Amino acid sequence: MKKCSSSAVLALVFLALGTSGKAQDGYIRFVDSLTSYLSNRASFIEVEDLVFSNLANLNVRRLVDEADENYFFQRGYDLNQDNLLNEKDGFELIDNEKFSPWGYYLELYPCKGNQSIYIEARGIDHNKEVYHIQKMLRLREVKLVSPWCKSNLKFQLPPGDSSITIQAKELIRGNVYERCVGQDYSDTIGLEALDKFSVEPWYVSSPKKYLDPNKRSITLNCKEHSKTLLTVFVWKDSLPVGSCQAWVELVDTSGSCGQNQATIKFRDSLAYHLFQAFTGFRPLIPARQLLKSPQVPKATSFKIRRSIRPSEIKQWVELGFDRNADGMLSKLDGYDWNLDGDIEDEGEYFQANGSSTLSPYLDSIPLVCADFGDSLFIEVSATFPDGSSYKESRRLFLSALPPYFTTYQHSYSSFIKLKPGAEANGYSNNGIGEIKVSDLVKSPFYSCLDTSDKVDLWGRSALTRTSLGRTRQAPDSTRKVIFHECCENRSPYLFIKIHVWKDNSPNPIAEHFAFAEIGDTLNACFTFGCLGEPPSIGTIVTGSINTLQGQQLKTYQVRVINQQYDPFVYVNENGLFSHYVRFRNDFDHTYYIPEKNDDHSNGVTTFDLLQIQRHILGKQVFTTPYQFIAADINQSGNISTLDLLQLRKVILNLETKFPNNTSWRFIDAAHVFHQPEEALTKYLPNRVLIKIPATSRRIDFIAVKIGDLNNSATPK
């Protein structure tokens, strides 16, 4: 793919991220390590996997290279089948660069590895404010493409049978593709199809030595697996190259399973649940937390026990389970659960079980570092109100822990307030803000690495050495503060990486993503400008927007096209906007473009329909260019019955907006139309270009409400 031109990048950078004052209300940011994440996924990735956001209506799109247009044709994006990819198909052309339609997922072409693509994501808050972010990604060559499993599948048990056999292929959604090699491709994106699958219970998905490539199906018993999570593996050359999970529920309409209320079931995400519990300060997991919630209220009591390896006996002794203090765990150590005066009953004492030891039944079980990366046997016993009891057991493999755990108390965001007169890091008399690592990290990180100074009996050590830096800065264990000044105030976010250090190691063992919100609440940047820049000329640009009747709009936004500035400037409560623009050289320039796209039905009535109809019939032709602009509902460049149809849909509330137009359009007030019809046939000056002026500059716009021919709209 060709590199995105500077004009296209500028055209996107100005898109609505919202003013810095709105950053606290809504946010949207890309996930960390996005390039690595994308390079190992399938041909599309959902927007929820791309960004962190508290906004609704998330969408994403990408720059489309001419060489890739054939892919879009093959995948059905030419909706009207006119052999063109244009605005009628949802594509947008910005400065001769074509962008795909907004969608819920990002289109990728895995066999075009090492390419650069420009992507854009947006979200809309409850006030219909739009937030945008952009990023240029360079994708590495795709190695593997993960499969996609069907989810929440229901299988009908055959009459009279209490079990059913499910084929692995039934659980896979569509085709599964592998690396971009060979000549015989199976689809338009150039991937090789894989068709060998196996299926296993979810909890044995980690240790590959237990996997059987020939296990093409699995038999589930309705009494044990009314609903379970399965893992489907994809194989190539006798190796598992990918996997995914599928929920499966067995439906028994013939009564083959019978009715047995005295059952309990483990959570299907048990390994993840245990890992989450282990990151707490006291990793004791109550039996009740390991079970599915629907069955929990039916039982009166729960007890739990687990296997203990010989290497962990010492830790259990130190944790206080050696009741008789003889240095061992045996039948002499236990708990009198049934209150009969002894611990002789099964499950009340430590029990030898091959090379392992089973703990007595407990209220909660502890986890230790050594449990992760190994298998663990767990058994839960429940007593029901009728006096019956039921046991459920599972042996599962706990995935190895990362070198560190996420800190227990961690703030992903902090606020930097730029202020005048601050002095930091050699800067003075400028807008300066600072963020400290202590603002983001509130408690130690934890590690299971072998160290001589364990902090607890579970094998965890605290890593208290942390530092922070910008995302592209090299790690520095001495850097505890980041200073931010006005020259960097181009975005309302500062992206940060927290580094975690072990002892005196020269390199960090882990890094953690965070971000800071930035606000120039005291207008320090307007006063002091940027440091370290070449001499420049600056001026104040002010303006307002009024209707033809002189009524002033108060709620709108002004988009700025210039890499130096935030994409939007502030509009005060009186409807005036003001922006201090700096110029680096004689060639520098800045565009200002007002926008407003809400309340489409404002001022739109059947009387407007009648006026457009009279113009079309030649009975009462429009006399001003602004009437032509207001009547061109679909922005086609002419007035026709299609405009009448679109306007009628909004009046009747069949649609809430004009699909191919904004609610308001704005024209430079200084522009002169020679003929009214020019408004349809010639370029409309909806922006003002500011070059180096000698004095301050005032720019004003005329607001035209689309669909309002009698000027009845109420400016807001």
Is residue 533 scored above 50 in pLDDT? Answer: no
pLDDT band of residue 528 (cuts 50, 70, 90) is low
Lowest mean pLDDT, pick from 261-270, 407-416, 580-589, 665-674 = 580-589
* Predicted pLDDT of residue 629: 92
pLDDT value at 64 more than 80: yes
Is 686 found in the same domain as 597? yes
pLDDT at position 410:
61
- Does 408 or 634 have the greater pLDDT score? 634
Backbone angles phi, psi at 66, to 5 degrees: -60, -35
Q: How far is CA 391 from CA 11, 130, 394, in A?
A: 64, 53, 10
Coil, helix or strand for 83? coil
Same domain, 98 and 12: yes
> In whole angstroms, what is the distance from residue 496 CA to residue 364 CA?
39
Q: Which of 52-66, 269-283, 625-639 has the lowest mean pLDDT?
A: 269-283
CA distance 489 to 474: 22
Amino acid 570: pLDDT = 62
Work out the angle at residue 10's Cα, subtended by the Cα atoms of residues 7 and 14, and round it to the nearest 5 degrees. Answer: 145
Query: In angstroms, rounded to a whole number, what is the distance separating the alpha carbons of residues 700 and 691?
Result: 16
Q: Is residue 60 part of a domain?
A: yes
Q: Is 80 exceeded by the pLDDT of residue 491?
A: no
Question: What pLDDT is stored for residue 523 in this prediction?
Answer: 64
| 413-417 and 510-519 strand pairing | parallel
Least confident of 113-117, 454-458, 495-499, 531-535: 531-535
Instruction: Say if residue 307's pLDDT is above 90.
Output: yes
Is residue 69 predicted with pLDDT exceeding 60?
A: yes
- Clarify whether residues 422 and 451 are in a common domain: yes
- Same domain (yes/no): 238, 285: no
- 402 within domain boundaries: no
Q: Let me know how many helices (H) and strands (E) the chain has, helices first.
A: 11, 41
Indicate the average pLDDT of the chain: 77
In a domain, 518, yes or no: yes
One domain for residues 113 and 161: no
Residues 119 and 200 both lie in one domain: no
**671 lies in a domain?**
yes
Do both 165 and 212 map to the same domain? yes
Same domain, 81 and 181: no
Residues 179-189 have pLDDT tens digits of: 665 544 445 55
Instruction: For 127-183, write each residue's pLDDT tens digit.
Output: 778 888 888 877 665 555 567 788 778 888 877 777 888 999 889 877 776 666 554
C-alpha 507/C-alpha 97 separation (Å) is 43
Query: Which of the four pLDDT bands, split at 50, 70 and 90, describes residue 3?
Result: very low
For the segment 174-221, what is each residue's pLDDT rounded down to a tens digit? 777 666 655 444 455 566 778 899 998 865 444 555 688 899 999 888
pLDDT at residue 78 is higher than 70: yes
Residue 33 lies in a domain: yes
Structural domain containing residue 592: 538-716
One domain for residues 161 and 201: yes
Contact 266, 272 (CB under 8 A): no
In this predicted model, which residue has the larger pLDDT, 306 or 568? 306
> Is residue 666's pLDDT more than 80?
yes
Q: Hey, which residues does 61 pair with through a beta bridge?
A: 120
298 burial via Cβ count (<10 Å: 0-12, 13-18, 19+): middle
Q: How, if at all, do strands 227-236 and 351-353 pair?
A: unpaired
In this prediction, residues 704-716 reach a mean pLDDT of: 89
- Greater model confidence, 372 or 698: 372
pLDDT of 651 > 60? The answer is yes
Cα–Cα distance between 14 and 581 in angstroms, integer? Answer: 15
The pLDDT assigned to 708 comes to 93
Element (H, E) at 314: helix 313-316
Distance CA 517, CA 412 (A): 10
In a domain, 297, yes or no: yes
- Angle of helix 641-651 relative to helix 606-617, nearest 10 degrees? 170
Between 6 and 372, the more confident residue is 372
Question: What pLDDT score was predicted for residue 423?
Answer: 46
| CA angle centred on 12, ends 10 and 15, rounded to 5° | 115
pLDDT at residue 28 above 80?
yes
Residue 34 is predicted with a pLDDT of: 62
Can you give the length of the chain in residues? 716
Q: Is residue 49 part of a domain?
A: yes
Instruction: Check whether residue 549 and residue 688 sit in a common domain.
Output: yes
The rounded percent of the chain whose pLDDT value lies above 70 is 75
Average pLDDT over residues 514-534: 61
Query: Which pLDDT band, with edges at 50, 70 and 90, does 482 fall under?
Result: confident
**Based on the domain organization, do 38 and 162 belong to the same domain?**
no
CA distance 146 to 40: 8
Q: Which of 61-75, 461-475, 570-584, 599-613 has the lowest mean pLDDT?
A: 570-584
Q: Assess whether 503 and 607 both reside in one domain.
A: no
We report the CATH number of the domain holding residue 198 as 2.60.40
**Residue 594: inside a domain, yes or no?**
yes
The domain total for the chain is 5
Residue 463, classed as helix, strand or coil, is strand
Say if residue 494's pLDDT is above 90.
no
pLDDT on residue 304: 92
The pLDDT value recorded for residue 526 is 57
